[in-house]
Structure formats: C-alpha cells, structure tokens
Amino acid sequence: MSTEKTMTEKLTPTPGQTVGPFFGYALPYEKGGELLAPGTPGSIRLAGTVYDGNGEPIPDAILEIWQADAAGNVVTETGSLVRDGYTFTGFGRAPVGNTGKYTFTTVNPGATEPGKAPFIAMAVFARGLMNRLFTRAYLPEDTEALANDPLLASLEPARRKTLIAERLADGSLHFDVRLQGEDETVFLDFASPASREG
Amino acid sequence: MGEPVKSSDAAADNQAILSREIRDIEESYKASVAAGAPAETQPRIDYPPYRSSILRHPTKSLHHADPETIELHSPAFGHQDVHALESNLTIQHGGEPLGERMILKGKVLDGDGRPVTGQLVEIWQANSAGRYIHKRDQHPAPLDPNFTGVGRCITGPDGSYEFLTIKPGAYPWKNHLNAWRPAHIHFSLFGTEFTQRIVTQMYFPGDQLFPLDPIYQSIVDQGARDRLVATYNHDLTSPEWALGYEWDIVLTGPKRTWTENEAYGEQGEDSEH
C-alpha cells in the first residue's frame, strides 16, 4: 500500500453468461465476417467448423476475430460494424451456419514485433457455453517463430497443434474449434496476472 | 469420455430434479469456501444443470497465457458504427411497443474503476410478453410489431451507457420440464483490451425465478450473482414516462497498465479478491 497505484480500489469483474440461443438477430451484422471484400488482392479465407464433445458440428455458435494488419500494425480504425469497403479494421464477427461452419475474409496478420509468431486472436460464443472462450489461430509458416512462442512452447505437441491453422492449397487458412473432446482446442485464461511473473 | 452422454436438450427432468442438482452444487461450493477456497467470480463452464452445456464446455483447464500485443488492444468502434438513435429500442418501428417502458443506465468500468470510454455496448432481449423475434423462438406468446429488442450505443467520456427500452418478460425454455428464464437483457461489451471482452446477462431485482434458473445459478457465489442484478432507481425514473434501472459493468484488468507500472507482483497478490 505504499504507492498510489496500490491504493486504488480493485473492483471485482462482472460475471459472464452464455450468449444463449437468440443472438442471431442481434450480434451478426452485414459483412461482419468480411474484413476485406472477398476477392480483394491479398485477402485470404479463414474458415473452419465448431464442434461439440461428440464431434458434432454446433449450429449456434458465433466467433469474433481480432488481428494485426498484413504489416503487423495494430489497427485503430473504427468502422467494423458499418464497413466502408476499403478500411481494414482488424475485427470481424461471424456466426456459424447450420453445419457449424464459419468463414472470415481477412489478411494474413504480420508479426507485431520482429520474430513474433503471427496469430489471429479469437473469441468463441455459443448456446450452452457458459462464458466466452479465447483462443489463437497461428499462421503455420514461420516455424522458428512458432518454436519460440511462449504459449506454444508451454504446450505439449498434441495440444499445441490445435492452435496452428492449416494452410490449404488455395491459400486459405483452415482452423476448427473443438469445445470438448480428444482434440479439444486450447482455450486461454488471461485472468491471473500472477501467472505472468514466471 | 466412454460413458454415454445424456441427451443435452431432452427436457425430461422436472424442476425438482434440477433444483436438487443446483442446491447440491451450491452447498458443495459453500463448504469449499468455508474450508478456505477462494470465492468464485465467474460462472462455472462445467455446470450440468444447464443441459446444453454438457457437450459444449472444455474439460481441460483453461491455459494461462500472457496476452500478446494484439490482445492488449481492442477493436475501435465509433459513430461510423453506431447511430445515436440505436440506443432507443422504443422507436424502431411505426408505433410504441407494448409493455413497461424503462430507462436503463450505467457505466462500463475496468478493474481499477476507470471508465471505459468510447466503446461499444450491444444489448438484445425478449419483448414484454417474453418472446424473442428470433425465428427459432416458438414460445406461443405474441410478437410485438413495434419491438425488435436490439440496441447499441457507444460509451461516453465517463464510461456511461443509456438505453430506453421495454422491460422483458420471463421466458420459457426446454432445459427441463417447466423451465423459465428470469427476465433478462443480454449485454455484449468490449474494453480497452481484447482480453476484457465479455457477453453477459442483466437481471431485475427480486425475481422469483432466480433460485430455479440454471444459467443464473451457474454462478455459484451469491455475491457474484448479485453483480448481474440491476438496481431500481427512483431518481432515474421519469414521471409519467418510464421506470429507471441502473447497472454498472466491471471488466477485468486492464493488464496493459499493470505492465507499464511494473506492478505485477502487488497486483497479482490481491487479484482474486
């Protein structure tokens, strides 16, 4: 209690709750998954399926992505909800379809610092999921950066691979989200600052 | 895995069975707190009384990660994204929606009590009869042609938000026989970091359905549940017009500031309280 900083009262965070079944008329918006118009030079597709613990696709999940631009810059432009067709905002939101599939049109994010492994940050929401989950979809190419990534290095190989997107022949990224089961995606907890001391 | 998994949407169990499950979990939680375990502040993601969660929650523990640069920033929203009138849910159609008109006001704060300014707040809700406009909602209560139930706003310089809406009705669902959700408004919030992103639900004070609802009860700590319940504020009530409710939201962190202040250790020690 010696500094002004530690004198500040800490507030307890508000609990999360499930997104429920009826977000479909509220959260999705026009071109939510199109960070760039499909077909824009340099654009790629990020797509995959969200699965439950029985390996069945989940038809009522919604995903958000947040990422750096192709040069690795953090974007501070508004306009994610009402896209002007030209400005890359770094944020997208896409519900899955009836077969659990989602699609974003975006760019390969650049490394935010030299040598860092580029990834797309993702938040996952679904009916039946009590609280949102965070994960990362890493680009597969820079194997040295991937090997040096602190998160990936802290995971055993079988778990690590759930975070690395697959590059398909057409240049798109394939990234499935498995909420439960053998190949369960690694989901992240940023809540405890104490964990960052080590 | 291995053993057969219960059908997650069977609606086979009655409220007495559900209430017993809810009570057992709560009693076991209270015993663990009495034995010195820390209070829980978030819902359990593994909470079997909410049947749909059974196959949809991770069984491996969340992996501790230090946020990287992108996660220490948040997407930016502004008046390009949200029109000022989107915070008024009562003027989206040709006439006045039916039900109890209400003003809902509060602040979005970070864990240090600082306002989260210029950030997006989204809400959605059932109408006054407890019916969502969503096509999969088959509850035989009337739709209101003058009410969609979706609103958005951008927080002010003091982190404040304000909506004018209609009080939602209780809503029946198929988790179990005779399952009813307490009246609630869904909230979606962003902070100054992507790590602060949350979606939650706001409830109304004194709802008799609280003890029966597995979604509300998935937060096993009463103090934490209370953080989702709005306060009736008569000073906010507008004469001959609308009842006033107030609800503040506290996001986590932000951790970016901790980094700048090199205060990990001190912050970490009391972070669970």
- Whether the per-residue pLDDT at B264 is higher than 60: the answer is no
The whole-model pTM stands at 0.92
- Whether the per-residue pLDDT at B269 is higher than 60: the answer is no
- Whether the per-residue pLDDT at A114 is higher than 60: the answer is yes
User: How much is the pLDDT for A197?
Assistant: 37
> Do the Cβ atoms of B68 and A112 come within 8 Å?
yes
For B228, the token pair is 């989702």
DSSP string, B107-135: EEE-TTS-B--S-EEEEEE--TTS--SST
**Distance of alpha carbon A172 from the chain centroid:** 16
Q: Which amino acid is at B54?
A: I
Instruction: Report the C-alpha gap between A5 and B270 in whole angstroms.
Output: 13
- Identify which has the larger pLDDT, A109 or B79: A109
Instruction: Report the C-alpha gap between B25 and B49 in whole angstroms.
Output: 9
Cis peptide before B254 (omega within 30 of 0): yes
Residue B83 annotated as catalytic: no
Chosen from B7, B60, B62, B259 to mutate, greatest number of chain A CBs within 10 A: B62
Tell me the mean pLDDT in the region B198-220.
Answer: 98
**Tens digit of each residue's pLDDT (9 = 90 or more) over B174-189:** 999 999 999 999 999 9
Q: Assess contact for A103 and A70: CB atoms under 8 A.
A: no
Catalytic residue among B186, B225, B227, B256: B186
**Which DSSP category does A51 fall into?**
E
Tell me the mean pLDDT in the region A185-193.
Answer: 81
- Identify which has the larger pLDDT, A122 or B273: A122
Tell me the mean pLDDT in the region B189-194.
Answer: 96
Superfamily of B69-253 according to CATH: Aromatic compound dioxygenase (2.60.130.10)
- Report the mean per-residue pLDDT for chain A: 92
Measure CB to CB from residue A130 to each of B50, B133, B270 and give the nearest one: B50
- Domains of chain A and any CATH numbers: 22-190 (2.60.130.10)
The three-class DSSP label of residue A124 is strand
> Do the Cβ atoms of A126 and B56 come within 8 Å?
yes
Chosen from A5, A10, A17, A27 to mutate, greatest number of chain B CBs within 10 A: A17
User: How much is the pLDDT for B263?
Assistant: 34
Across A82-86, A100-104, B254-258, B267-271, least confident range: B267-271
**Tens digit of each residue's pLDDT (9 = 90 or more) over A76-104:** 999 999 999 999 999 999 999 999 999 99
Across A3-12, A66-75, A129-138, B40-49, least confident range: A3-12
Tell me the mean pLDDT in the region B237-264.
Answer: 75
Q: Does A125 touch chain B (CB under 8 A)?
A: yes
What ipTM score was computed for the predicted complex, to two decimals? 0.93
Q: How confident is the model at residue B106 (pLDDT cuts 50, 70, 90)?
A: very high
Tell me the mean pLDDT in the region B33-49.
Answer: 96
